[in-house]
Every structure is written in C-alpha cells, then in structure tokens.
Chains A and B, each alone.
Chain A
Amino acid sequence: DAGVIQSPRHEVTEMGQEVTLRCKPISGHNSLFWYRQTMMRGLELLIYFNNNVPIDDSGMPEDRFSAKMPNASFSTLKIQPSEPRDSAVYFCASSLQGGHAGELFFGEGSRLTVL
C-alpha cells in the first residue's frame, strides 16, 4: 500500500516567493496533520483536519501560512510570502480517526530552504 506522499521532497526558494507543499494521505484515512520540524523548536503541529475540515490551526505561525484540504485525498500547505525563518522540514501525516490513538503515518517530509 502507498504511504503518505509529499511533494516536493526538497524546495529552495528566495525570500518573498510563494511556496506550496502538497500531501496525499493514505487512502481511507480521515485525519490529516501538518507538522514542522526545526532544530530550535523540534516538531510542532501546525494544523490538522478531520474529514477535510480544519479542526485546530492554533499552531499556524501567522497569516502567511494557510492550509487547505479540498478533498479526502489531497492537502496543501502554502506560505506566502516566504521568509528565511520558514526554512524547515514540513511533514504531513494521516491517521484513521477512531483507530489506534496517536498512530500517525508520516510522509518523508518536504525540506524547505528560503534564501
């Protein structure tokens, strides 16, 4: 079975540019999570969706960040405009709500570098 698929795997962009990260969750999973990983702050939950509806976006740093889940098989995380401090690895994870609590299936992450 295919796992969580993220793209791009690596992205290098210049400050001020728009960045879009993409995620395809595991088929049948109805919860989707976006995490950010940095050396300084570790793993932080940015936002999560249940059944395509955003439930908790309190971790989204600021208005430059937005996330959407137009259907059960696709989600995007957008940063506009990007800044050097946004450089991080962004992980998408999915799970089955009502399944084993806390069992998240992670993608391989998107490493973002903003120059």
Chain B
Amino acid sequence: AQTVTQSQPEMSVQEAETVTLSCTYDTSENNYYLFWYKQPPSRQMILVIRQEAYKQQNATENRFSVNFQKAAKSFSLKISDSQLGDTAMYFCAFMNQGAQKLVFGQGTRLTINP
C-alpha cells in the first residue's frame, strides 16, 4: 500500500519569506500523481498544485512550486513571498495513475506571521 509522510507537523515563517514543506512517499508503481492540498481555517480543502510522475519538469503555480525527486520519492512544496493568507494546513497526497483514491499525508500546519 502507498504511504505518504510529512515529517514537519508545524512550521512558522515571517511574511514575504520563502518556506519549503517536505513530503516523502512510498510506492512500487512507476506512474502516479502527487498533489499538495491546502486546508485553511475554513476547513475547505483546495488543490494547490499537481505533478505527474512521468514529467521531469517540476510543476509551478504562481508563488507555489515543487521539487519532485522521483528516485528519492520526495515531493516538497516551496512557497515564495509567503502571504498571511497562506496560513493553513498543507497536505501532500498520492494517487496511482488510473485510480481515483487519494492517499493523504498527516499534514503540516503552516503559520505566516506578520
């Protein structure tokens, strides 16, 4: 079974700083997808960014980018120029290609301080 591990339960940075959240996963599959979801205090989960395992190029979405290291099974999220609105729980997630089941990590609580 696939597992997703987020080793940082909590992180805190100052506004405008860059922060990197870590994620590792375990799978024997070669084709899959990786995701970062954000859960703000309102509780509603929102997709931040997605990476296809067959793509070598790291995904980027505005201030959000990933560092995907397939051999190391590592998938970190970098938030540049952090903003107060980035304060949230961040979940790393895995999904096999052709499947619909998302497997989530335990989450990292990120606080952006003014």
Q: How far, in angstroms, from A101 to B101 measured CA to CA in the complex? A: 10
Proximity string of chain A (67-106) to chain B, C-beta cutoff 8 Å, 1 when within and 0 when not? 0000000000000000000000101010101001111101
- The residues of B that contact A93 with a CB separation of less than 8 Å are 45
Q: Judge whether B44 is part of the interface by a CB distance below 8 angstroms.
A: yes
Q: Judge whether A56 is part of the interface by a CB distance below 8 angstroms.
A: yes
Give the segment of B19-27, B71-79, B102-110 that binds chain A: B102-110
Q: Judge whether A34 is part of the interface by a CB distance below 8 angstroms.
A: no
Q: How far, in angstroms, from A97 to B44 measured CA to CA in the complex? A: 21
Is B45 in contact with A104, judged by CB distance below 8 angstroms?
yes
Is B44 in contact with A104, judged by CB distance below 8 angstroms?
no
Q: Judge whether A28 is part of the interface by a CB distance below 8 angstroms.
A: no
Shortest Cβ distance from B103 into A: residue:
A45
Decide: A108 near B101, CB < 8 A? Known: A42-B106, A42-B107, A102-B33: no
A102 to chain B, nearest CB (A): 5
Is A108 in contact with B43, judged by CB distance below 8 angstroms?
yes
- The residues of B that contact A55 with a CB separation of less than 8 Å are 100
Shortest Cβ distance from A48 into B: residue:
B100
- The residues of A that contact B102 with a CB separation of less than 8 Å are 45, 102, 104
Q: Judge whether B46 is part of the interface by a CB distance below 8 angstroms.
A: yes
Decide: A102 near B93, CB < 8 A? Known: A48-B100, A108-B44: yes
Q: Judge whether B113 is part of the interface by a CB distance below 8 angstroms.
A: no
B residues sitting closer than 8 Å to A (CB atoms) are 33, 35, 42-47, 50, 91, 93, 95, 97, 100-102, 104-107
- Going nearest first, the 9 A-B pairs with the smallest beta carbon separation are A106-B45, A43-B104, A102-B95, A109-B43, A108-B44, A42-B106, A102-B33, A102-B35, A108-B43
List 15 other contacts, CB 8 Å, given A55-B100, A101-B33. Answer: A42-B106, A45-B101, A48-B100, A56-B101, A89-B43, A100-B50, A101-B97, A102-B35, A102-B47, A103-B47, A103-B50, A107-B44, A108-B43, A108-B44, A109-B43
